[in-house]
Structure 1
Amino acid sequence: MRYCSTRGEVLGWDFQAVLFSGFAPDGGLFMPEEIPALDPTTLRSWSRLSYTELVQEVCSLFIPQHLIPRADLAALLSTAFSRFPLAEVVHVARLKDGLRVVELWHGATLAFKDLAMSCVGQFLRYFVSKLNRHVTIVVGTSGDTGSSAIESVRGMEGVDIIVTFPKGHCTPVQELQMTTIKEGNVHVFAADGTSDDIDVPIRKLFSDAGFVEQHGLMSLNSVNWARIMVQVAHFFYAYFQCAPSLENSPLPEVEIVVPTGGAGNITAGCVAVKMGLPVRLVAVVNENDIIHRAVQLGDFSLSESVKHTLAPAIDIQDPYNMERVFWLLSGMDSSLMKGLMEEFYSTGKLRLPPGLHKTVSEVVSSRSVTDRDIVETMRRCWEENRYLLCPHTAVAVQHHYQQQQQQLKHASLPRCCLATASAAKFQDAVLKAGLTPEIPAEIRALETMVTHSTPMRRGECWEGILREKIELISSTRKGGNSV
């Protein structure tokens, strides 16, 4: 298995090189040069596997054995999921009127990103130890990514991590999960801006190939293919948990509803579809609706500003993973993608070619919901099931309730909604729904801890601040000192 950039100027990289990277040197995103196709017999055999076993099967298709032998891969994944309190890692809540909620959030930070991040952290540990090298991870976050990335590598030998978050635009719990970490390899910056603002200097850093190589820079945002790869597995798991009998041919379809911000999860779903999984994907966004407009109208254009909603982790107007979706669904047309993405990043506007728009809308449907929808959905789910939704999961469940009412074309399909975080992380949204937050002891403990972060003020050169920090890390690690 080899990897290429979506923009076509980088080819033939192996998994190890892609793991230790961020954006490709040509500004694109790494993807496999081919997507393995699974036949119905394989899918039926996979249906008997546990979640951890499914992750292993998926990863083994994209990681050659000469890089990580199968026995080593199994051991790494076992370690990755050992911190999850549930033996099954992922739980499916079966609620009233056919509502199925796939709980992906039982990891250390109570967010779905722990699933992939814990695995990627173990892949890093494996290669860093083997190669005796040092890497510096650079992460921008809209909320959950930062804390999950920190948890995956905190205290890890040979690894430093820089996390930048938008001050005041994450929930208090999300900020505390990032700023209360004491390990010397964790460096947190609080930026006076939005998550999209943070992406700009980070993209510039990764476009400087010499700087990236000199300082061993890599990303643990979903720009990193390894994150997407692991997330592919939970689409298979959700399908097998929710599909009726697999004995008939063709295999039955299942609708999977995905709360969508940066589009990493939807990208993983599209990869699963290309592998042969018979699912219909629904991307549901909040009022930051660029993906919804792209699917419905072919209009992939930035709005004037990011709207701050009750679902802050998906308050994103520049969902960079859509480049992967467009590439995949264009038939891997890198030349087309280079032109489209250069137009988008130079003008902030893009009209999808008719053929690409048609294919995208056939694979992914979409919906946009308001804060009012979120609150009403959280309240209804509690009243009917005594089940608390986080506001992002409510974004997905709102689609289920709308489908019930309207009896649309695919309303009869089995459906599941991906739950991306615990409601405990979004207490203000729970209170606005008139409900009582359930706060675990580990969340309460954060409130008494000392916080540490470095401010990045509006008007300052954020790229320069990050460059200076990266250079300091490199010089001190070479000298054997702490930063």
Structure 2
Amino acid sequence: MQFKSTRGKVAGKGFVDTLLMGLADDGGLMVPERIPAVTDQTLASWRGLDYISLFLEIFALYVGDDIPREDLRAMAERSYGRFRDPQVTPLVRVKDGLHVLELFHGPTFAFKDVALQFMGELYSYVAQRQGEIIHILGATSGDTGAAAIEGVRGKEGIRICILHPHQKVSRVQELQMTTVDDANVLNLSVKGNFDDCQRVIKELFADLDFKSGHHLRAINSINFLRILAQTVYYFYAYLRLDEQARAGKVDFSVPSGNFGNIFSGYLAKRMGLPVHKLIIATNENNILEQFVKTGVYRSGDFRSTHSPSMDIQVASNFERYLYYLTGEDAVKTAAYMQTFHKDGEIVIEGEELAQVQRDFAALGVGNARCLETIADFKTQHDYLLDPHSACGVAAAEACGGTGETVITFATAHPAKFDEAIKLCEIEQEIPEPIQELFAKSQHQVVVDYDKAFIVRQLEAFYNGVNLVGGTEAHE
């Protein structure tokens, strides 16, 4: 399997080269040169596979000869052996027609663990195989940072720096990142929002001299590995349904801010998974809902919500979808993105908009409705949702509409967002690993949203120098 850029100037890259490139050198996003087809016969042969076995079958379609299968299996076993449930992502039937796919059984209690535990293992494998130092650089709206740090902390040959928006993530999300005291980890708490953090990251990856000179590698979902690893659990969820549920129409309702998790479902559907509708659940930062309903992709005013991991106005993976929407037209995709960077919006019309609305439904869930959903779901079904998962349930109830089966994703454990749960007057039992965080000291550097200053912090870190200069927070 070879990979290419959505903007057409990078092609013929293998799986490992694609992993290491992250953002394509022409500023686009890497996609497979062809999407492998999964037939009904293949799906039938996969029923009954455990998670790791299914993971290997799907990855084999993309990895080719780059990594021996036995090495992939060993990495997958180390990654998913750390999950608290042996099914990795168990499917729970909550009521007739509604299932919840629990994606929060990894070490940091969020769906990002599913991809990032494996990515940490793979980066370590590649660093050892190629004898190179890897500098991982990423931005997070909350969960990616903790999962990425957990995946690579203490690993030889890897340093990781994560930017997160200062005081705009939940307390537990912040503690999971900043209580890590390993020498290969740097946390920068940026006085701004997630889009500010992400903008710095994308600009640094687009600076090819800086990227190559510092061996930068990506952990955000701009990296295709993240997309592929998340695609596995769409297949797993579908195959776990009983025969009657599989026989009808199956929708997926997915909390999504950066368009990565929902794009993984779009990839699964294009591969051949019989998905009827992909439902995008967002919050009051509802750029994706606006796009699906009107064809206008335009960032608006940033709003802080009870679901901070979706407090995003510019979705990194949107370009991948544009590429397929245009019929894999790299020139048209690049022109659309140039228009967005110049004018701040893209307008999709006519048949392209009709295709968007065939592919997706969407709902932006307000703060009040989010809390109401948490409270109602707990009362009616004795199931506690975190605020992001509650947006997914609200969107499923509003947009499902097939009268058959909806699988909605529980993307985080509710203990990560106890502030919102308490607003619903619900007391929950906090898992011990999360309770322990509150007794630990924090290690982060609070910095202004200043790209030049952030770059100086990074260069010092990569050179093994203890440069503070901002406000070093040890609480």
Q: What TM-score comes out, normalization by structure 1 length?
A: 0.93
SS of the counterpart of 2:281? strand
- Classify the secondary structure of the residue corresponding to 1:83: coil
Q: Which amino acid aligns with 2:274?
A: P
Partner residue, 1:319: 315
**What residue in structure 2 maps to residue 54 of structure 1?**
54
User: Counterparts of 2:90 and 2:99 in 1: how far apart (Å)?
Assistant: 10
Which amino acid counterpart does residue 331 of structure 2 have in structure 1?
Answer: S
Give matches, 1:189-200, under 5 Å.
189-200=188-199
Contact 1:5 1:30 in 2 (8 A): yes
Instruction: Report the Cα offset of residue 243 of structure 1.
Output: 5.4
Determine if contact 1:242/1:415 at 8 Å carries over to the other structure. no
Q: Residues 110-146 of structure 1: CA distance to partner in whole angstroms, max 9, x if unpaired?
A: 0000001011111111111101100111110000000
| More divergent stretch after superposition (21-30 vs 69-78) | 21-30
Contact 1:96 1:384 in 2 (8 A): no
Match of 1:480?
none
1:229 Cα deviation (Å)?
0.6
Tell me the secondary structure at the aligned position of residue 350 of structure 1. strand
Distance apart, 1:246 and its partner CA: 8.8
Partner Cα separation in structure 1 for residue 109 and residue 45 of structure 2 = 31
- CA distance in structure 1 between the aligned counterparts of 2:462 and 2:80, rounded to whole angstroms: 31
Is the Cα contact below 8 Å between 2:98 and 2:405 reproduced in 1? no
* Aligned mates of 2:97, 2:350 — CA distance in 1: 36
Shift of 1:24: 1.2
SS at match of 1:191: strand
Shift of 1:402: 3.4
User: How much does 1:469 deviate?
Assistant: 3.0
Shift of 1:242: 2.7
1:469 to 457, 465, 468: 457
2:419 is aligned with 1:423: no
| CA displacement at 1:452 relative to structure 2 | 0.7
Contact 2:141 2:194 survives alignment (8 Å):
yes
Secondary structure of 2:328's counterpart equals coil
Write the distance in 2 (CA, Å) between the matches of 1:457 and 1:474. 20
Whether the 8 Å CA contact 1:44–1:246 is kept in 2: the answer is no
RMSD between aligned alpha carbons? 1.6
Q: Which residue of 2 aligns with 1:351?
A: 347
Partner of residue 36, structure 1:
36
Alpha carbons 2:221, 2:316 under 8 Å: kept? no
CA distance in 2, matches of 1:312, 1:269: 22
In 2, distance between residues paired with 1:345 and 1:22? 20
Match of 1:95 in 2: 94
What's 2:240 paired with?
A: 241
**CA offset at residue 9 of structure 1?**
1.2
Q: Deviations over 1:77-112 (max 9, x none)?
A: 011111112111111222134331100110010000
Cα shift at 1:245: 4.5
Aligned partner of residue 150 in structure 1, secondary structure: helix
Residue 201 of structure 1 pairs with residue 189 of structure 2: no
**Pairing 1:129–2:128 present:** yes
Q: CA deviation at 1:467?
A: 2.3
In structure 1, give the amino acid aligned to 2:422. Answer: L
CA deviations over 1:401-447 (Å, ceiling 9, x no partner): 336xxxx7x43221110110000000011011121132111111110
Within a 5 Å distance, the mapping from 1:1-40 to structure 2 comes to 1-40=1-40
**In the alignment, is the contact (CA less than 8 A) between 1:242 and 1:414 conserved in 2?**
no
Give the distance between the partners of 1:114 and 1:120, measured in 2 at CA. Answer: 9
Per-residue CA distance 1:192-238 (angstroms, 9 max, x = gap): 11000111111111111111111100110111110101000011111
Percentage of matched positions with identical amino acids: 35
Give the aligned partner of residue 472 of structure 2: none
- The number of residue pairs the alignment matches comes to 464
Matched, 1:253 2:244: no
Q: Distance in 1 between matches of 2:338 and 2:379?
A: 48
Verify the 8 A CA contact 1:116 1:227 in the aligned structure 2: yes
Q: Which residue of 1 aligns with 2:473?
A: none
The answer to whether the Cα contact below 8 Å between 2:253 and 2:278 also exists between their aligned partners in 1 is: yes
In structure 1, the residue matched to 2:423 is: 432
* Equivalent-residue separation in structure 2 for 1:208 and 1:295 (angstroms): 32
The corresponding residue for 2:469 is none
Where in structure 2 are the equivalents of 1:324-339 lying within 5 Å? 324-339=320-335
- Is the alpha carbon distance of 1:190 and 1:246 closer, same or farther for their aligned partners in structure 2, counting shifts above 3 Å? closer
Residue 452 (1) aligns with residue 443 (2): yes
Alignment check: 8 A CA contact 2:302 2:311 kept: yes
Deviation at 1:352, TM superposition (A): 1.4
> Separation in 1 of the partners of 2:229 and 2:95?
30
Residue 119 and residue 335 in structure 1: after superposition, are their counterparts in 2 closer, same or farther (change >3 A)?
Answer: same
Q: Cα distance, 1:389 vs. partner?
A: 0.3
Q: Is the Cα–Cα contact under 8 Å of residues 186 and 461 in structure 2 kept in the other structure?
A: no
Q: Does 1:369 find its partner at 2:365?
A: yes
* Alignment check: 8 A CA contact 1:140 1:195 kept: yes
2:7 alignment partner AA: R
Q: CA deviation at 1:353?
A: 4.0
2:284 alignment partner in structure 1: 287
8 A Cα contact 1:326 1:356, kept in partner:
no
Judge conservation of contact 1:80–1:119 (CA < 8 Å) in 2: yes
Q: How does the TM-score come out when normalised to structure 2?
A: 0.95
Q: Match of 2:272, as an amino acid?
A: G
Stretches of structure 2 lacking an aligned partner (at least 5 in a row): 466-475
Partner amino acid, structure 2, of 1:255:
D
Distance 2:324 2:333 in 1: 10
How far off its partner does 1:6 sit?
Answer: 0.8
How far has the Cα of 1:326 moved from its partner?
Answer: 1.5
* Conserved? CA contact 2:254–2:408, under 8 Å: yes
Q: Which amino acid aligns with 2:321?
A: V
Partner secondary structure for residue 85 of structure 1:
coil
Q: Read off the aligned partner of 2:424 and give its amino acid letter.
A: A
Find the residue that maps to 1:160 and give its secondary structure.
Answer: strand
User: Mapping of 1:61-72 within 5 angstroms?
Assistant: 61-65=61-65, 67-72=66-71
1:457-480 per-position Cα deviation (integer Å, ceiling 9, x unaligned): 24xx2x223322332244349xxx
Question: What SS is found at the alignment partner of 1:17?
Answer: helix
The answer for unaligned runs of 5 or more in structure 1 is 478-483
State how far apart, in whole Å, the 1-side matches of 2:210 and 2:18 are.
17
